[in-house]
């Protein structure tokens, strides 16, 4: 363990692939988000849609997990899951949340903060209906975030729902749906040499986005 800790402590990366200047940043941060996401897609970054979702309960205890971005428009970012999960309960208690995209191949990350609400049922239905059949079965079988006695118990539940829906369309469970984060803050981070990174932020001020640079 000590040797591993020493190795981790000595790991170093320098960032040389790009820069970010205010003159290259649009007034609207959503435009820059879309441009950077397109760069990541064109560069075939693995799991480009993966984002860290950070939430906090009413006592102020934080938690974070990876979820997938599934839709986005006009500063709204959608993700889906089980309404009985830990993230769902924390979002009910405290709707403030943060997203983080990290694309090491491009030496970039994007932080987004805002308020979260449940997505409309129509959107949740449309997304659920487009999922693979196995994923739909999994949504019925999994009581996400609850204690599970064994892997065999989960596999038994999957088999039960496979029999239940054999030859039938699989409806969206009432406990499964989506959320939408409405952004009021963005930070675009471009790695630079010697840890002197570029960090350009946008914060909503009334109905106008205020843009500014912060120290790395």
> So which residues are the catalytic ones?
195
Residue 213 in tokens: 């640079």
Q: Half-sphere exposure (CA, 13 Å, Cβ side) for 97?
A: 33
Pick from 64, 71, 61: which is nearest to 111 by CA?
A: 64
For 60-102, the three-class secondary structure string (H helix, E strand, C coil) is CCEEEEEEECCEEECCEEEEEEECCCHHHHHHHHCCEEEEEEE
β-pairing verdict for 96-103 and 71-73? unpaired
Cα–Cα distance between 180 and 95 in angstroms, integer? 10
């Amino acid at each position: 363990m000590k040797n591993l800790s020493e190795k981790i402590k000595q790991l170093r990366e320098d960032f040389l692939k790009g820069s970010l200047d205010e003159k290259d940043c649009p007034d609207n941060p959503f435009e820059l988000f879309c441009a950077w996401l397109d760069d990541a897609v064109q560069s075939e970054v693995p799991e480009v849609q993966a984002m860290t979702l950070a939430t906090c309960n009413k006592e102020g205890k934080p938690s974070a997990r990876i979820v997938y971005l599934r839709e986005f428009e006009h500063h709204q970012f959608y993700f889906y899951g089980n309404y009985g999960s830990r993230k769902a309960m924390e979002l009910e208690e405290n709707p403030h949340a943060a997203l983080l995209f990290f694309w090491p191949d491009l030496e970039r990350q994007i932080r987004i903060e805002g308020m979260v609400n449940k997505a409309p049922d129509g959107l949740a239905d449309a997304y659920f209906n487009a999922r693979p059949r196995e994923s739909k079965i999994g949504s019925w079988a999994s009581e996400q975030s609850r204690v599970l006695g064994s892997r065999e118990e989960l596999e038994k539940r999957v088999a039960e729902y496979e029999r239940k829906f054999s030859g039938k369309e699989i409806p969206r469970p009432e406990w499964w749906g989506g959320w939408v984060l409405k952004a009021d803050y963005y930070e675009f981070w471009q790695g630079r040499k010697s840890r002197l990174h570029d960090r350009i932020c946008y914060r909503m001020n009334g109905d106008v986005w205020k843009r500014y640079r912060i120290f790395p």
